[in-house]
Amino acid sequence: MAKITVSLIKADIGSIAGHTTVHPDCIEAAKSSLEKGQKDGIIIDFHVTHAGDDLELIMTHRRGENNEKVHKLAWDTFTKATEISKKLKLYGAGQDLLKDTFSGNVKGMGPGVAELEFDERGSDPLIAFMADKTEPGAFNYPLFKIFVDPFNTAGLIIDPSLHQGFILDVYDVVENKGVRLNCPEEMYDALALIGTTGRYVIRKVWRKDGLPCAAVSTTRLSLIAGKYVGKDDPCALVRSQHGLPATGEVLEPFAFPHLVAGWMRGSHTGPLMPVSVKNAVCTRFDGPPRIVALGFNVTDGHLVGPVDLFDDPAFDLARQKANEIAEYMRRHGPFMPHRLGPEEMEYTCDILFSIIYTNTLCN
């Protein structure tokens, strides 16, 4: 049997009352578009959801990664949802669709893509993570914890099938270059790169025997567009259990709402709050940055589920902590490190730089 591919493709195609959430009519339009794709035999199964103002398409097929038909289906789906956004005059209608015509692959056209091709295991649990108001590097910390840190993942020590470790594919989004690092052997090298979250991004993770484990979207909209067009709200796929980190080990890093770049105007540091889909609506200061996790079983290419994994009181404390951190960070107003450094806050840095050059009265 051909391998199965899970493609998670997302785009901000407009939202209600600011950059808060996707309109239900856009979700419905996306569902009927993918239903047609299913009938036409392009995909096997799908699930449509949202994270904040991002429309998220989770699709399965046997066509492999970067498949033109699947990417075109996603692009056409975003285009159809954009038509609804435009009709309703939603905010930022079509925001992430940076090109007019599809040219073979949605990468480089605006949408974020996380894809994993694999042989379906006897039972194959998979978690789709979708974040809003942050950037792909937000996944560096949790993925390192999941696949390299035994203080997070007990299985790294006590399950012989995880004991050999994992390979991280770290990608430089500025130079478009990747490097594969064996962990735990090269974990210090990995950390030297992935601590710089705005530039070096974990793109893929494999087990040492080559089993694909995780994929992250790595778009930099600002680099594609040459001007600021919003942060690249990222998504990721992580497989779990039976020789991989358990679902609970995959979710565990999110009990600590670590600081990420994004939030208001893509220009602030704030905590990443784990939330249910119904609470994935960005409000306070357009945030705080949020992450949703949907759990599935991939069964004969179909998506069984989802279970809304952060819809659980076990993450209440993380949410409370995130609110406290949000409050603390907000009190800094326009001061760094709450506000990002000028190189990361593409939004208004031209204004900041021009003040000093046009208004200098004395040396």
Given a contact cutoff of 8 angstroms between Cβ atoms, the answer to whether 139 and 234 are in contact is: yes
By CB under 5 A, tell whether 346 contacts Mg ion: no
Taking CB under 6 A as the criterion, which residues in 228-257 touch ligand F6R? Answer: 230-231
Q: Name which of 129, 117, 223 is nearest 172 in CA terms.
A: 223
CA separation, residue 20 to residues 96, 295, 301 (Å):
15, 23, 33
Q: Decide if 31 is catalytic.
A: no
DSSP at 337: T
Applying CB under 5 A, the span of 67-75, 131-139, 176-184, 201-209 interacting with Mg ion comes to 131-139
Segments in 117-180 forming alpha helices (H):
140-148, 155-158
Tell me the C-alpha distance between 120 and 334, whole Å.
49
Applying CB under 6 A, the span of 143-151, 193-201, 259-267, 313-321 interacting with ligand F6R comes to 259-267
Q: Which is nearer to Mg ion, 12 or 56 (CB)?
A: 12
Q: Decide if 311 is catalytic.
A: no
Which listed residue (69, 80, 92, 330) binds Mg ion by CB under 5 A?
92
54 binds, among ligand F6R, Mg ion, none (CB under 5 to 8 A by kind): Mg ion
Tell me the C-alpha distance between 272 and 245, whole Å.
21
Q: Which two tokens stand for residue 348?
A: 């208004």
Given a contact cutoff of 8 angstroms between Cβ atoms, the answer to whether 205 and 214 are in contact is: yes
Q: Decide if 347 is catalytic.
A: no
Total binding residues for Mg ion by CB under 5 A? 8
Q: How far is the CB of 14 from Mg ion (least distance, A)?
A: 7
Q: Which is nearer to Mg ion, 205 or 291 (CB)?
A: 291
By CB under 6 A, tell whether 117 contacts ligand F6R: no
How would you write 211-231 as a 3-class SS string? CEEEEECCCCHHHHHCCCCCC
By CB under 5 A, tell whether 232 contacts Mg ion: no
Return residues touching ligand F6R (CB under 6 A): 18-19, 92, 133, 230-231, 264-266, 286
